[in-house]
Structure 1
Amino acid sequence: MQDYKIFELGDVVLQSGATLRDAKLAYKTFGTLNAAKDNVIVYPTWYSGQHYDNEWLIGPGMALDPDKYFIIIPNMLGNGLSSSPSNTPEPYNQARFPGVTSFDNVNLQHRLVTELFGIEKIKLVTGWSMGAQQTFQWGASFPDMVERIMPFCGSAKTSVHNFVFLESVKAALTADAAWNNGWYDTPPKKGLRAMARVYAGWGFSQAFYREKLYLQYGYSSLEDFLVAFWEGFFLVKDANNLLAMLWTWQQGDISNNPIYNGDFEKALGAIKAKAIVMPGQTDLYFPPEDNEYEASKMPNAEYRPIPSIWGHFAGGPGMNKVDVKFIDDALKELLAS
């Protein structure tokens, strides 16, 4: 049973100049849109994640309570459900899938929200990692529509160091001969396993490994964690999809569009939404100082780090109850404000 719906976008001209024909946006909703259409929360997906992977933050009694709010999870292009290298017909299939930016993603999500549901105001946009990048983009692209944002463990602009990290991930994946420049018939599993090993050193903090916290979560050794968690995490995913989303991540910049023409401070200053900007205190991809700077340039933002040694994974996907509560409590506070 397919538990999501497809919004048909038609022919979409992307920032890259390519036209994605018969483009599709997969989405899932929770709760009921009220008569006033003012109980809307938009909750974008993250790198490699699909809507299923966002559901840990939704439930009765939580901030994202489907008994109170109409929650929309739009799947990012490239994630295998929305238009992606793995499901787009020739000629834009596999390695020919065009580059998609966060600006593109958010514009298409805006079409879903307005054209399908007739929504004019969004109570909250929130998301983890690349979901946070899209959250910032929503605030900058549609400042009069978005009332609140809470991006967690993600930045408004991909830093140079983050870009370089992603180059190492890409190099590990594409070094596998089976990758075949993106025209593989069987998955490049050696590359996917190598990518997972690179990722493992960045996803969690030095302190997480020092304290061997993986042993508390059913892994019998460090090697078991690297194989069972990390390699298992990536082996089920399509390599071209991962590379497409990686490109989106590398291009992350809320000002790199016709609205702001690269003026990053102007884009941050244009975000009217009440915001809690929430980095992971020990995040190695999106270090707190990047978010501290961004929040300082936003007119209505509080900077509030997650006090955790879980690194980037303090933000998801629901692995650690202490950090989940910290995020959920902040969302409740923001929604009540």
Structure 2
Amino acid sequence: MTAEFETFALGDVTLQSGETLKHAKLAYKTYGTLSSKGDNAVLMPTFYTGTHTRNEAYFGPGRAIDPARHFIVSINMFGNGLSSSPSNTVPEQAGHRFPRISLYDNVVCQHRLVVEELGIDRLALVIGWSMAGCQTYHWGALYPDMVEAILPFCASAKTSPHNIVFLEGVKAALQADCAWKGGDYDAQPVAGLKAFARVYAGWAYSQAFFRDGLYRQLGYETIEALLQDWEADHVDNWDANDLMAKLWAWQNGDISANGHYGGDIARALESIRPKAILIPSTTDLYFPPEDNALEAERMPNAEFRPYASDLGHCAASPGKDPAFASFLDRAVADLLS
């Protein structure tokens, strides 16, 4: 498995906001081969600080999703630095001038890639963690006749008010750096990115994770070592405006915020006819299991299947918890059987 990817040119795309994303592109990678019946396609969107390469932790030889049996399509969301993003777009839309792109916009464009470029008319499964899971709900609501099953984990169909407030905190930490300059920075706002990472880390894990020293199981001698690693990841790997573009999409995530459902979240959930298993982490601080339980009550073919963990949201982070990988594979197998 390598980092190479392909690019699908969308042309100029009219967004929900009414703005136009110029020369839009989606970066993606496929694994395996589409069957002659076209019935083995699995779609994986990407999450907030992820690209298609990090999705590779969720499948592989002998796993429930296996390139030997499935055609896996891993699509990078807008703003992640590979698909159209503030850091790589045309000059007139670069940086803070990048248009607002919603999760709905992402999924509509992903649908174009799947149908127009790859010739797929059925998806056996759409699956994803965190923001990728939020996009997974959108696939179920927007294309229920195309999707056989969905498996969002540590995600939600609509970003909760508390989740929005959490994101306001990390956003404020980044933007307080004088180098931010309203997004029109000359160099990356390093102090802001470090502050962003430190605030984020406190929400990504549970209270018990820190109280019981579980960070040592992840290779950190101290909490400070963990925080410094989070700082380095954000400074070394992420553009500040890219993070802000995706953060806006996350805060405004809502499967009903479109012309199909007119803001009626109950009706949108009831329209998700594909089989579904909703997996929260029992200690997730911004996608709590209570939210998924309420969603499952509205969805006609959904099972609520929480995963007990003290790792918080990061229980499902690639490579963090081998037991979660087994738990996820059982759920995938149940949906694909």
Tell me the equivalent position of 1:132: 133
Tell me the equivalent position of 2:232: 232
* AA in 2 matched with 1:205: S
Q: Is the 8 A contact 2:154 2:280 kept in 1?
A: yes
* AA in 1 matched with 2:19: A
For residues 174-185 of structure 1, the aligned pairs below 5 Å read: 174-185=175-186
Tell me the equivalent position of 2:36: 35
Q: Does 1:75 align with 2:76?
A: yes
Distance in 2 between residues matched to 1:233 and 1:257, nearest whole Å: 34
For residues 56-135 of structure 1, the aligned pairs below 5 Å read: 56-135=57-136
- Is there any run of 5+ residues in structure 2 with no aligned partner, and where? none
Tell me the equivalent position of 2:259: 258
Shift of 1:293: 0.3
Distance in 1 between residues matched to 2:176 and 2:325, nearest whole Å: 36
Q: Is the 8 A contact 2:46 2:75 kept in 1?
A: yes
Tell me the equivalent position of 2:172: 171
Distance in 1 between residues matched to 2:206 and 2:168, nearest whole Å: 20
Q: Does 1:283 align with 2:284?
A: yes
RMSD value over aligned CA atoms?
1.0
Tell me the equivalent position of 2:155: 154
* AA in 1 matched with 2:287: F
Tell me the equivalent position of 2:6: 5
User: Identical aligned pairs, as a percentage?
Assistant: 56
Q: TM-score, normalised by structure 2?
A: 0.98
- Is there any run of 5+ residues in structure 1 with no aligned partner, and where? none
Distance in 1 between residues matched to 2:254 and 2:218, nearest whole Å: 35
Shift of 1:2: 5.8
SS of the residue corresponding to residue 110 of structure 1 reads: helix
Distance in 1 between residues matched to 2:219 and 2:303, nearest whole Å: 36
Distance in 1 between residues matched to 2:158 and 2:50, nearest whole Å: 20
Shift of 1:36: 1.2
Shift of 1:327: 1.2
* AA in 1 matched with 2:231: E
The range that moved more, 271-280 or 219-228, is 219-228
* AA in 1 matched with 2:54: D
After superposing on structure 2, the runs of 4+ consecutive aligned residues of structure 1 that deviate more than 3 Å are none
User: 1:141-160 deviations in whole A, cap 9, x for unaligned?
Assistant: 00100010000000000000
Q: Is the 8 A contact 1:316 1:324 kept in 2?
A: no
* AA in 1 matched with 2:307: I
Distance in 1 between residues matched to 2:22 and 2:101, nearest whole Å: 13
* AA in 1 matched with 2:61: P
* AA in 1 matched with 2:270: G
Shift of 1:180: 1.1
User: 1:68-125 deviations in whole A, cap 9, x for unaligned?
Assistant: 0000001000000000000011211100101111110000000000001111110000
* AA in 2 matched with 1:51: H
Distance 1:2 1:306, change over 3 A: closer
Tell me the equivalent position of 1:23: 24
Q: Is the 8 A contact 1:188 1:239 kept in 2?
A: yes
SS of the residue corresponding to residue 208 of structure 1 reads: helix
SS of the residue corresponding to residue 24 of structure 1 reads: strand
Distance in 1 between residues matched to 2:49 and 2:224, nearest whole Å: 23
SS of the residue corresponding to residue 43 of structure 1 reads: strand
Q: Is the 8 A contact 1:48 1:245 kept in 2?
A: no
Shift of 1:48: 2.0
Tell me the equivalent position of 2:329: 328
Distance 1:66 1:304, change over 3 A: same
Distance in 1 between residues matched to 2:138 and 2:147, nearest whole Å: 11
